[in-house]
Amino acid sequence: MNKKTFADWQDKAATLKIEGRAFIDGALSHSRDGKTFVCASPIDGRELARVADCGEADVNAVVAAARRAFDEGSWAGLNPRERKAVLLRWAALMHEHLDELALLETLDMGKPIGDTTMIDIPAAAHCVAWYAEAIDKVGGEVVPADQHLVGLVTREPMGVVAAVVPWNFPLVMAAWKFGPALAAGNSVVLKPSEKSPLTAIRVAQLAHEAGLPPGVFNVVPGGAEPGRLLAAHGDVDCIAFTGSTRTGKLIMQCAAQSNLKRVWLELGGKSPNIVLADCPDLDGAAKAAADAIFFNMGEVCSAGSRLLVHRDIKDVFIEKLLAAARSYAPGHPLDPVVTMGAIVDRVQMDQVLAYIEAGRSEGRLAAGGAQVKKETGGFYIEPTVFEVKPDAKIAREEIFGPVLSVIVFDTVDEAVHIANDTQYGLAAAVWSADVTTAHEIARRLRAGTVWVNCYGEGGGDMNFPFGGYKQSGNGRDKSLHALEKYTELKSTLIRLR
Ligand code: NAD
């Protein structure tokens, strides 16, 4: 348990040294053309740093460095046991620098310091350690082949992997890519979001300190341009992307028009949380429903943004939900008791407010609905709850903010139909005391993760694959399955006689 007070964190923030350069081929570097962008804090709008705005020359240089490192075998050629030792040192360094990394993440992205110290940074370190621990235990296969043959099936690293990630869990989303990709022996070029580049740069320095050879792990900050250049680059073998469905489609096009690099997409969601009339614990379900949409300011791909409630329990359930929502009053993210921080930037806040405006004309506003703490210069929105019909714009489009659409249903079939009637399929939940009913519904829900009588459980457990059906993406982060994304399968047939 971190014992620091609000004042302690503010003191630390005042003296924090922030690095804004890219990390290419084992060294910090300015962008080749000297361009920078302003990295500001959503807490108060204050400028935190000028960050390298990488362009074509940087992308070409970083891919060349990553390729050279791969071809030389300085990382890929190591015994997996040796890669494991370096990655474990790196994970340990992340723990050693937990306060610094948590502070960077909170200042940069606006999420509560309680979350970055307890969830984000430990989860990223755990992810790296988990794949490190796994990598010297996964072997290949000897297949039953003709007598005159020895048949081997092995997995080999792909080469240069680009990871393009969003801003909502900056370091965790990145670690879900670079953890398995590096463990498998690839070189990685990480392109963090322009809204949250700081922890990526800092962990690259720590990677170097831990012993990752130059060129093996690189960070090129910038906006869409370096992301697009990586997606279109002829010498990138694989691109692993987390972000919006719109950008995911563009990335797939770039890959198709260039070298058919492997494309893995973790995209948006509009996840349904279904509460049946026989829900075994209305208080617990209401609290979980509030957590599902208000944790991380609702900036969660798997947020339970559609709450489907049976008509018989609707009134009592909404009352309990609103009580639970009150524990999410927006506050200063450096205050350890605060559970809801700032929206990542003005653009995102304005988008969320526009959805709230749309909601006012589409349904009944039950709570929230306003920007607050304007005097701080930061971007804060109250937890907001609407009661709407399933076809309302706010019930169909991903908002990525603290806005919940409550939808009432009468039958199980209707609930399942509404739940699946979306372009997305990232997550879903069902609450029922009847295990058969719950399990039957779980089977019918078209989503990569289904929770029964809980929501969001197992997020930090690396054993569960995470990813989407439909336009929520392809492939899975986490678990041993993620190693499959960063390796090619090779058949080797050896003729004995
Ligand atoms: P975004 O698509 O705007 O940006 C994601 C990343 O792509 C950023 O680094 C951005 O700079 C880069 N980018 C933007 N345009 C690009 C282009 N044309 N070519 C290449 N790269 C480009 O998404 P965002 O706003 O950063 O993140 C929010 C989205 O991420 C939401 O839709 C959310 O659901 C999704 N998300 C999904 C998961 C998941 O695991 N499925 C997890 C977290 C977030």
pLDDT at position 323: 98
Show the ligand 1 pocket: residues with CB < 6 angstroms: 164-168, 173, 191, 193-194, 223-224, 227-228, 231, 242-244, 247, 250-251, 266-269, 301, 398, 400, 426, 468, 472-473
Ligand 1 center from residue 267 Cα (angstroms): 7
Q: How far is C-alpha 339 from the geometric centre of its chain's CA atoms?
A: 19
Residue 1 has pLDDT above 70, yes or no: no
The answer on pLDDT for 170 being more than 80 is: yes
Atom 28 in ligand 1: residue holding the nearest Cα = 243
What residues are labeled active site?
A: 266
pLDDT at residue 394, as a whole number:
98
**Confidence band of 434 (pLDDT split at 50, 70, 90):** very high
Do the first three CATH levels of 6-267 and 272-463 match, i.e. the same topology?
no
- Per-residue pLDDT band for 65 (boundaries 50, 70, 90) equals very high
Q: What is the pLDDT of residues 320-331, one digit of tens each?
A: 999 999 999 999
Q: Give the C-alpha separation, 117 to 415, whole Å.
A: 38
Which candidate, 281, 304, 307, 279, places its Cα nearest to that of 294? 304
Whether residue 345 is predicted with pLDDT greater than 90 in this model: the reply is yes
Rounded to the nearest angstrom, the distance between the alpha carbon of 241 and the centre of ligand 1 is: 7
- The full set of domain ranges for the chain reads 6-267, 272-463
**Which atom of ligand 1 is closest in space to residue 426's alpha carbon?**
41
Q: Specify the ligand 1 atom closest to the Cα of 247.
A: 2
CATH superfamily of 272-463: Aldehyde Dehydrogenase; Chain A, domain 2 (3.40.309.10)
- Probe residue for ligand 1, chosen from 244, 295, 398 as the CB with the greatest number of ligand atoms within 8 Å: 244
Among 177, 193, 195, 198, residue to substitute to test ligand 1 (most atoms within 8 Å of Cβ): 193
The H-assigned helical ranges of 295-432 are 314-325, 346-362, 393-396, 412-420
Q: Which of 127, 164, 190 to mutate to test the pocket of ligand 1 (most atoms within 8 A of CB)?
A: 164
* Average pLDDT of the segment spanning 27-42: 98
Task: Determine the Cα–Cα distance for residues 230 and 60; give it in Å rounded to an integer.
Answer: 9
Distance 165 CA to ligand 1 centre (A): 6
Q: Rounded CA gap, 153 and 143, in Å?
A: 7
Question: Contact at 8 Å (CB) between 465 and 477?
Answer: yes
Both tokens assigned to 116? 């970055």
Residues 163 and 149: their CA atoms lie apart, in Å, by 39
3-state secondary structure of 143: strand
**For the segment 97-133, what is each residue's pLDDT rounded down to a tens digit?**
999 999 999 999 999 999 999 999 999 999 999 999 9
Q: What is the reported pLDDT for 2?
A: 79
Is the pLDDT score of 432 beyond 80? yes
212 DSSP 8-state letter: P
pLDDT tens-digit map of 396-408: 999 999 999 999 9
Query: How many angstroms does the Cα of residue 214 sit away from the middle of ligand 1?
Result: 27
The number of angstroms, rounded, from the C-alpha of 400 to the middle of its chain's C-alpha atoms is 13
Contact residues for 477 (Cβ-Cβ < 8 A; gap 6+): 176, 177, 242, 266, 465, 466, 467
| Ligand 1 atom with least separation from CA of 400 | 31
| Banded pLDDT at 350 (limits 50, 70, 90) | very high
Q: Which of 165, 168, 398 to mutate to test the pocket of ligand 1 (most atoms within 8 A of CB)?
A: 168
Average pLDDT taken over every residue of the chain: 98
Residue closest via CA to ligand 1's atom 30 equals: 243
Q: pLDDT of 442-456, one tens digit each?
A: 999 999 999 999 999
pLDDT in tens, 10-26: 999 999 999 999 999 99
C-alpha 253 to ligand 1 mean position (Å): 15
Architecture of the CATH domain 6-267: 3-Layer(aba) Sandwich (3.40)
Q: Which two tokens stand for residue 51?
A: 């960050």
Q: What's the rounded Cα separation, in Å, for the pair 236 and 160?
A: 5
CA of 114 to the centre of ligand 1 (A): 25
The atom of ligand 1 lying closest to the CA of 250 is 18
